[in-house]
Amino acid sequence: MRQRVGETKTEYSNKPAAISPLMAAVLGRWKQTTQFSAEVDWIFASPVRAGRLPWSSDAVTDAYRKAAGKAGLDNVTTHAMRHTYRSWLDALGTPIAVQQKLMRHADIRTTMNVYGDVVTDQMEQAQSKVGELALNSTQAARSSS
């Protein structure tokens, strides 16, 4: 069931997590609709455990896989959300040190080398810009000769 409540894995995991006001509002509305809506209840309280514990990681994974399957996505895990989050942070131009802290990694190399990937058409845009620089330099050199 893995519904462990207690000490965190690292000191970085123990630090408060940042959350946007928009996301806090969405979670607040969710909390009002659940059967375990008291202030002391978990946001995602387990109905199996009468709300005394959060959903198990296995239950979250199962629900996520079912939703992904209905959306036509295969082999998607909840951990993929961490990779997506890092990619989005990068696409927004968030400094790597800020990304590390938001992801609560002890070592910045984990943030840089393990998580995230290029999103949308950033590589194509970058290649186009390099091509423009190269061609403009070549054309400028021809014009000055």
Structure tokens at 64: 């996520």
Which position has the token pair 């968030």?
A: 94
- Phi (first) and psi of residue 38, to 5 degrees: -65, 155
Residue 2's pLDDT is what? 66
Fill in the DSSP letter of residue 115: S
What's the pTM?
Answer: 0.68
Say which amino acid occupies 78.
Answer: T
Residues in the chain: 145
Distance CA 72, CA 47 (A): 28
Structure tokens at 69: 């399957």
Q: What is the pLDDT of residues 21-80, one digit of tens each?
A: 999 999 999 999 999 998 888 989 988 888 888 988 888 889 999 999 999 988 888 888
Query: Any idea which of 35-44, 91-100, 106-115, 130-139 has the lowest mean pLDDT?
Result: 130-139
